[in-house]
Structure 1
């Protein structure tokens, strides 16, 4: 199974690009946010626990995220590959994530970070907030706080994967199709000479 991590700041387009990658190469897109919402919707034990924590204004704990992701992996053990969007979210999750994959005879094969200028991110999120009504996209101050959290918490995982030779930074500026062409070129280059048979 191919394991690709896609990450980037809010507004970078990682979710949309992950879905396009899923369709292009017949992979599965694992968005931890979407999977968690599904668990809540169907009132699973994990979903009920997540809802209780969220409703109480509590931080979503790593252990619960791991349980939800492990459950998803076991349900899709025959998948050709998975694009991960939302895990690992911080440096403390990287080793445990690697262990989760190793237990299922897998490894991280490729890590892609989408790079976008901050002002472009802000404008994208403000526009999304107008159309979606999402409170976390509702104003410049809220967005700037989210971007600082990303810089402090999530961005450092790049250094971890650089040391393993798995990390690539890609230009996330331009149209949807232009960015996707860059991602496809990287994926094809990465896997063309390997027995993973993704391309």
Structure 2
């Protein structure tokens, strides 16, 4: 079983690349953003709580995120592996994910970070905001707040996964096919 954590700043291309990777490697794609949006749209208790944080551009608390994610993993007991997109975002979430996977007789196989320059990503998100309707992609201040949150809370994951020999960085700038090929070169060696 392959369990991959795909991370990078908002707009780095995680969702786009996850679509290709899930097909190529027969993985169940778990996007915390999609899970949040589903729960918000369906006005679940966890969704309403998550929305209060997302509307401010803040990260949703670990306890809420972890509950949503565990529920999704439980829904896919026969999966060949999982592609975690946007999770974990903090050391506490990474530790909770490790503990949860161990309880299932599994582990994170690798983490892959899509690296890209902030200014390029801000422009990507503002463009996406014009078509996505997502309010958090239409306000540059909110975007920059999300990057600040990422730098403070998510960037420490690099050292966490390096210590486990599971961290790989990939240049997230270029044609979609080129980035997919860079990711595949890493996954094929696992």
Is TM > 0.5 for Structure 1 vs Structure 2?
yes
Q: Which runs of 5+ in 2 are unaligned?
A: none
SS at match of 2:189: helix
Distance 2:145 2:50 in 1: 22
SS at match of 2:4: strand
Aligned pair partner of 2:47 in 32, 47, 50:
50
Distance 1:49 1:133 in 2: 22
Give the C-alpha shift of residue 175 in structure 1: 0.8
Give the greater-gyration-radius structure (CA).
1
Distance 1:156 1:50 in 2: 27
Distance 1:67 1:145 in 2: 25
Q: 1:144 and 2:153 equivalent?
A: no
Q: How does 1:117-196 map to 2 (within 5 A)?
A: 117-190=117-190
Distance 1:118 1:103 in 2: 37
Counterpart in the other structure of 1:68: 68
Runs of 4+ in 1 over 6 A off after TM superposition: 56-59
SS at match of 2:188: helix
Q: 1:77 and 2:74 equivalent?
A: no
Distance 1:55 1:111 in 2: 29
Give the C-alpha shift of residue 52 in structure 1: 4.6
Counterpart in the other structure of 2:27: 27
SS at match of 1:82: strand
Deviations along 1:47-84, one digit per CA (max 9) or x if unpaired, are 22331563597973322222221111111111011100
Q: Which runs of 5+ in 1 are unaligned?
A: 191-199
Counterpart in the other structure of 2:6: 6
Distance 1:125 1:74 in 2: 32
SS at match of 1:112: strand
Query: Contact conserved, 2:39 with 2:46, CA < 8 A, in 1?
Result: no
Distance 2:65 2:142 in 1: 24
Query: Contact conserved, 1:50 with 1:60, CA < 8 A, in 2?
Result: no
